[in-house]
Amino acid sequence: MDKLLIRGGRNLHGEVLISGAKNAALPEMCAALLTRDPVHLVNVPRLHDVATMRRLLDNMGVKTETHGERGGISFTAPDDLNPEAPYELVKTMRASVLALGPLLARFGRAKVSLPGGCAIGSRPVDQHIKGLQAMGAEITVEHGYMHASLPLGASRLKGARITTDMVTVTGTENFLMAAALAEGETVLENAAMEPEISDLAEMLIKMGAKIEGHGTSRIVIQGVERLHGCTHQVVADRIEAGTFLCAVAVAGGEAFLRHGRVDHLGAVIDKLKDAGVQVQAEGEGEGAGIRVRSTGQLKAQSFRTTEYPGFPTDMQAQFMALNLVAEGTSMVTETIFENRFMHVNEMLRLGAQITTDGRVATVVGGKPLSGAMVMATDLRASASLVIAGLVAKGETLVDRIYHLDRGYDRMEEKLRGLGADIERVSQ
Ligand code: UD1
């Protein structure tokens, strides 16, 4: 099994290219199910979740083809595909539930496995089911599968007003895709506002969908009978960019994150600035990105994770790594997932001082970190351990990095390009 070996103590300098966003690419791959025409995505990141989603689509009968250097993949979903997402694939990636909305909307039926447990919390899909039922779908859960179909005689889903109990990112995406082909108007209240939602909506609009209000909490969709193919560039990954911002802040140095978007990282950048890190937008067009410069002693920052545009839960662990080496005590409150502090015990092995009480972690910063063997427990937790390893004295060996590979596009190569002493070892 692969591990990452990091020898701490090097500053980071240079330029890194931020990849396309995992959380935009996954729904956008599923959006290809909405049409029989080819859909071309560019800037698709090279990571395991994308490979899993591709396998899931292949398995249904979607024809996929890789194009060129720039992460280009085309998808063609024929009329006679098998609208099923089996447990073997869904269990490794919750985002497989994103197939449900488009399959129902185009084929009138779908059989999608329930995702089951997840390390960071129970993560049910009840809201997805409730919303699609409001659009007329009949959904039963049997033998671990959601069996969804249209009522007898109906040929399309029906527009509806959907107000979810909480803000859900993939839920909003499922409804957007389903509503694009539904009959009549759908109004999504309490919609997620993440940039990945807007990117998906822009792609659907290129395919002929009628959508307004994306990027706000109220999205209105006028269903159309048919969607067509398109070419779409996946938006840059704000979480990957945020991870590199924290890495440079912690390790020291200066870097340019090409394609990184400051406008998608407001809450994180505000906290970085308060911590004493210099962060600014630089360049234009293809050359645009984020310049980050560390300026010496960091000041610890308390924060709460909330839905976008608040502080992202997907950046909580990486920013906690920053707080470990910063001056002062900080309180980190996780409000989105109930069990997202699994990195804490691993950080303790590096010499950190952290206590947790339910959803609040109290971090006493400034304790010297020393390298140790640690275990990645989920995707973002893995990234936080790598960041801590960059500054820990001696060697840190991060085990179970398949979690990291699920969601980061060659992270260790990119860090090495910035001067980090990091290598992948198989043991
Ligand atoms: C997405 C992101 C993930 C990120 C999360 C929160 C993708 C592929 N994944 O996950 O990286 O950490 O948003 O920003 O985009 N919930 C329910 N019932 C539901 C749906 C959600 O109870 O039917 C709860 C969840 O358990 C969680 C909260 O709502 O506590 C938010 O979850 P949600 O926004 O749906 O997360 P995902 O879309 O799965």
List the structure tokens of 362.
């109290």
Token pair 């085309």 is found at 74
Instruction: Give Cβ neighbours of residue 268 (< 8 Å, ≥ 6 apart).
Output: 242, 245, 311, 312, 315, 319
* pLDDT the model gives residue 116: 65
Q: Is the peptide bond before 151 cis (omega within 30 degrees of 0)?
A: no
* pLDDT the model gives residue 186: 98
Q: Using an 8 Å Cβ cutoff, are 202 and 231 in contact? A: no
Cβ-count burial 60-81 (b if 16+ within 10 Å, e if not)? bebebeeeeeebbbbbbbeeeb
**What's the gap in Å between 338 CA and the centre of ligand 1?**
12
**What's the gap in Å between 123 CA and the centre of ligand 1?**
7
Q: Which 3 state secondary structure label does DSSP give 319?
A: helix
Taking the alpha carbons of 280, 282, 284, 287 in that order, is the dihedral positive or negative? negative
* pLDDT the model gives residue 219: 98
Q: Using an 8 Å Cβ cutoff, are 227 and 33 in contact? A: no
Cβ-count burial 382-399 (b if 16+ within 10 Å, e if not)? bbbbbbbbbbbeeebbbb
Is 123's C-beta closer than 6 angstroms to any atom of ligand 1?
A: yes
Q: Which 3 state secondary structure label does DSSP give 325?
A: helix
Which residue's CA is the closest to the ligand 1 atom numbered 13? 169
Atom in ligand 1 nearest the alpha carbon of residue 337: 30
Is 337's C-beta closer than 6 angstroms to any atom of ligand 1?
A: yes
Which residue's CA is the closest to the ligand 1 atom numbered 24? 123
* pLDDT the model gives residue 69: 74
The DSSP 8-state label assigned to residue 106 in this structure reads H
Report how far residue 42's alpha carbon sits from residue 72's, in angstroms, rounded to the nearest whole number. Answer: 4
Q: What pairing do the DSSP bridges indicate for beta strands 210-212 and 161-163?
A: unpaired
Is 168's C-beta closer than 6 angstroms to any atom of ligand 1?
A: yes
Is 418's C-beta closer than 6 angstroms to any atom of ligand 1?
A: no
* pLDDT the model gives residue 303: 98
* pLDDT the model gives residue 142: 92
Q: Which helix (H) or strand (E) holds 407?
A: helix 402-407
**What's the gap in Å between 168 CA and the centre of ligand 1?**
5
Tell me the average confidence (pLDDT) per consecutive run of 10 residues in the chain, 427 residues long.
95 98 98 98 96 96 91 96 94 92 97 76 85 97 94 95 97 98 98 98 98 98 98 98 98 98 98 98 94 95 98 98 98 94 96 97 96 93 97 96 92 97 92
* pLDDT the model gives residue 118: 60
Q: Using an 8 Å Cβ cutoff, are 367 and 109 in contact? A: no
Digit-coded pLDDT (tens) for 176-225 = 999 999 999 999 999 999 999 999 999 999 999 999 999 999 999 999 99
Is 94's C-beta closer than 6 angstroms to any atom of ligand 1?
A: yes
Digit-coded pLDDT (tens) for 333-384 = 999 998 899 999 999 999 999 999 999 999 999 999 999 999 988 899 999 9
Q: Using an 8 Å Cβ cutoff, are 347 and 388 in contact? A: yes
Atom in ligand 1 nearest the alpha carbon of residue 121: 26
Residues 380-383: contacts with CB within 8 Å, 24+ apart?
A: 380/239, 380/243, 380/314, 380/315, 380/316, 380/317, 380/318, 380/343, 380/407, 381/317, 381/342, 381/343, 381/346, 383/243, 383/317, 383/318, 383/408, 383/411
Residue 118 a catalytic site member: yes
Taking the alpha carbons of 387, 393, 397, 400 in that order, is the dihedral positive or negative? negative
Beta bridge partners of 73: 41, 66
Q: Report CA-CA distances (Å) from 163 to 27, 128, 134, 166, 391.
A: 21, 11, 10, 8, 45
Report how far residue 140's alpha carbon sits from residue 425's, in angstroms, rounded to the nearest whole number. Answer: 46
Is 169's C-beta closer than 6 angstroms to any atom of ligand 1?
A: yes
Other CB atoms within a 10 A radius of the CB of residue 379 amount to 23
List the structure tokens of 163.
């107000």
Which residue's CA is the closest to the ligand 1 atom numbered 34? 168
Q: Using an 8 Å Cβ cutoff, are 128 and 100 in contact? A: yes
**What's the gap in Å between 391 CA and the centre of ligand 1?**
31
